Amino acid sequence: MKKRSRIIAFLLIAVLLFSLIGGTAQKLMKDVNLGLDLQGGFEVLYQVAPLDKGDKIDEEAVKATSKTLESRVNVLGVSEPKIQIEEGNRIRVQLAGVKNQNEARKILSTSANLTIRDANDNLLLSGKDLVQGGAKQGFKQDSNEAAVSLKLKSASKFRDVTEKVSKMNPNVMVIWMDFEEGKDSYKKEQERVQQGKEPKYVSAASVDQPINSENVEISGGFAGQDGLLRAKQIADLLNSGSLPVKLNEVYSTSVGAQFGQDALHKTLFASGIGVGLIFLFMLFFYRLPGLIAVITLSAYIYLTMLAFNMINGVLTLPGIAALVLGVGMAVDANIIMYERIKDELKIGRSLKQAYHKGSQSSFLTIFDANITTVLAALVLFFFGVSSVKGFATMLLLAILMSFITSVFLTRILLSLIVHSNFFNRHFSLFGVSKKKRHDLAQGYDIHDLHTRWDGINFVKLAKPLLALALASIILGSISLAVFGLNLGIDFTQGSRVDVKSEQVIDVDTLRKDLESEKLPEGTITLSGSDKKTAVVQYKEPLSKNEINDVKSALSDKYGYEPNVNTVSPVIGKELAKNAMLATLIASLGIILYVSVRFEWRMGLTAVLALLHDAFLIIAAFSLIRLEVDMTFIAAVLTIIGYSINDTIVTFDRVRENLQKIKVITSPDQIDGIVNSSIRQTMTRSINTVATVIIVVIALILLGASSIFSFGVALLIGLISGVFSSVFIAVPLWGMLKKRQLKANGGKLTVYTEKTKNDEKIYV
């Protein structure tokens, strides 16, 4: 009897799921905290240094500085500010969505050391002469223009100062914030004023006669809404207290709001296209199970974003890429199970038998494949910075949610379909025609099935292809030795300015615009097919004032606020060191896990294949001269996770085939195991990498330019990963196994984990 209730339950779950997604998706997306690369803003890493010679920086001084910065950030009105104390007396500040980045940077790094000086820069009064907390934002008398009022401790002292200034020429009283001896001067700032630039001093008022009062009013330069905001910020800054230390910028990145919005729209569009194509692929190739995959993949995306919001994650461009790449991992889990079910159906099992056997056999394979990617993601999380850490966070969530949806939700839905009895004879809906089914009574096993790859001798092909892989390593080494890598400022030092315009950018005009700001000479490169974006790179980091000048000038001229990234030599070396350490730790973690789960020969050959993939990506970037930045490292570590995923699935089939043999007495048996294992998993390998490549190509062609190099690195690595799994990892294991056979006197007994000696799988 057909159990219609199971079909009804399946439909109800699907309807409720899509109703939930459709009804709450809009609110869910609104609640997402966008990173500064998607909504604009800036991030800065400060090195805390002593204010005076001889002072020492301890933990309490860093904490006090962090609290002062926090109180200043609150004044800016940023919705989700992040201030973190890091090792080495450093403080990282992230302000996504801040409107006036120049003003924010100035407020954060200002020591709040107020001084009143004459036109010759002689000190008249300092912050010690002010009443603490006595600064207020108000308005000029008989005017709506904003002003800042200060309260002095001594009215007589102020009278003496103003009397002295009134007799000078020029008779100006200059109010400074963080005046630097030998660097700042009133005369120098007057030159900036004549060039139409904003002076560093707060105010320069004329004094005609002595003033006998304890109240000082700073006015002028506070016109309009922006002036009102600036006056309030100065008052709040003074009241927040001076910083007990100096803050040196060692790393900073700023993104214009328009850049962020464009990147968000492009990447979401590319992601939508990629995911849509994956859905079509699954429906076409796997039919009814493919439909279930579409349902569970939709649930995966929804649940991942829900969990991301619950942990208050910050979504970045690489984070979106990780979410979409997670679709590929979720698809992989489905494909592993569906391919196993198809094999069970082919040997003649009933639909129920095939489902139970296939889901049971595929669980550990899926688990092993996901764990290795988790190892790579964890390393990225602990060693990455800013957007790379966001990528790792999303990747970890994506792995968890893909496992939950692809293993548990898929099994629930597929179980309802299978046990409804509606599809007991409709094997074609599961991708198996009647012609391909055998009689189970004849003793057929899935390892006896013919595949479309039976005509290929992978062991025979492996030797020349291993030679080709070795040749590519040699050529890559030569390329690296001759050309090196096109290292971005992340791993060297300097500044990068991304300029965007509505019109085609003329390089000569842009160079003149930068020269007019008295900036050092930089290298200008047009990017994008429309030539409306340019990249300017400087070998030395730009100063805070230079960054302010270039952002103000180019915003006015080109209509878009430019992106500016600055990295000091110290940070560049640290990032390079951490990148190498992260790759090493990920490789060691994977070889250890595979050795424990399988055997050391598999662990060794798997990591050799991974190193081949990583090196090939690096060599390719050396040849094509694409810039290497932190997202490149994220791509390499992601490929390490993806490649081992594919290798483990094949090794899992090797283990099954070994258990069928029990005793190995000839090298031909080992060759047979290698060939049959690769053939039986080849369709899964190609289908999985094809779905991920679809997404990556969409990101490369349609996504934001800032993740172009990331996408290219992934594409090279994905193709290399399939090659290395098939022609390096498994064949190399076969060679090592033959040496073990020879050393063991021509006989190897294969033990299962249930033997009385409790041996591992191989001896």
Looking at 313-368, which runs of residues are DSSP E strands?
A: 314-315
- Please count the other Cβ atoms lying within 10 Å of the Cβ belonging to residue 404: 18
Per cent of the chain over pLDDT 70 is: 92
Look at residue 247 and tell me if it is in a domain. Answer: no
**341 close to 358: Cβ distance less than 8 angstroms:** yes
- pLDDT band for 220, please (50, 70, 90 cuts): low
Residue 753 pLDDT exceeds 70: no
- pTM of the full structure: 0.75
Same domain flag for 601 and 698: yes
Report the pLDDT value the prediction gives residue 76, as an integer from 0 to 100.
66
- For residue 132, the model assigns a pLDDT of 66
Nearest to 685 by CA among 659, 714, 723, 657: 723
- Residue 710 shares a structural domain with residue 725: yes
User: Tell me, what's the pLDDT at 757?
Assistant: 40
For the ranges 33-42, 369-378, 553-562, 692-701, the one whose mean pLDDT is highest: 692-701
Interval 520-556: pLDDT, tens = 888 888 876 677 888 888 888 888 778 888 888 888 7
Q: Encoding tokens for residue 236?
A: 């709040």
Q: 80: domain CATH number?
A: 3.30.70
In this structure, the answer to whether residues 465 and 410 fall within a common structural domain is: no
Q: What is the mean pLDDT of the chain?
A: 81
Mean pLDDT for the stretch of residues 30-40: 80
Contact (CB, 8 A) for 248 and 566: no
Of 567, 587, 602, the one marking the end of a domain is 567
Q: Does position 61 have pLDDT exceeding 90, yes or no?
A: no
pLDDT of residue 762: 37
User: Looking at the structure, do residues 541 and 592 belong to the same domain, yes or no?
Assistant: no
Taking 60 as the threshold, does the pLDDT of residue 457 lie above it?
yes
Q: Residue 410: which residues within 8 A CB-CB, separation 6 or more?
A: 292, 293, 296, 333, 334, 337
pLDDT at position 80 is 65
Query: What is the CATH number for 292?
Result: 1.20.1640.10
Please indicate, yes or no, whether residues 284 and 214 belong to a single structural domain of this protein: no
Residue 191: CATH number of its domain: 3.30.1360.200
pLDDT value at residue 759: 39
For residue 762, tell me if it sits in a domain. no
Domain boundary among 527, 545, 567: 567
Q: Are residues 555 and 580 in the same domain?
A: no
Buried b (16+ CB within 10 A) or exposed e, 724-763: bbbbbbbbbbbbbbbebbeeeeeebebbeeeeeeeebbbe
Residue 549 shares a structural domain with residue 586:
no
**Tell me, what's the pLDDT at 16?**
93
493 pLDDT higher than 60: yes
> What residues make up the domain containing 57?
36-107
Is 103 found in the same domain as 189?
no
Q: How large is the average pLDDT for residues 81-108?
A: 80
In a domain, 759, yes or no: no
Number of domains the chain is built from: 5
Residue 713, judged by CB atoms within 10 A of its CB (0-12, 13-18, 19+), counts as: buried
Chain centroid to CA 371: how far? 20
Average pLDDT over residues 314-318: 79
> Are 61 and 123 members of one domain?
no
Q: What is the mean pLDDT of residues 168-176?
A: 84
Residue 559 shares a structural domain with residue 657: no
For residue 211, is it within any domain? yes
Confidence at residue 2, expressed as pLDDT on a 0 to 100 scale: 55
Check whether 264 has a pLDDT greater than 60. Answer: yes
Q: Are residues 281 and 353 in the same domain?
A: yes
- In this structure, the answer to whether residues 617 and 725 fall within a common structural domain is yes
If you average pLDDT over residues 188-204, what whole number do you get?
81
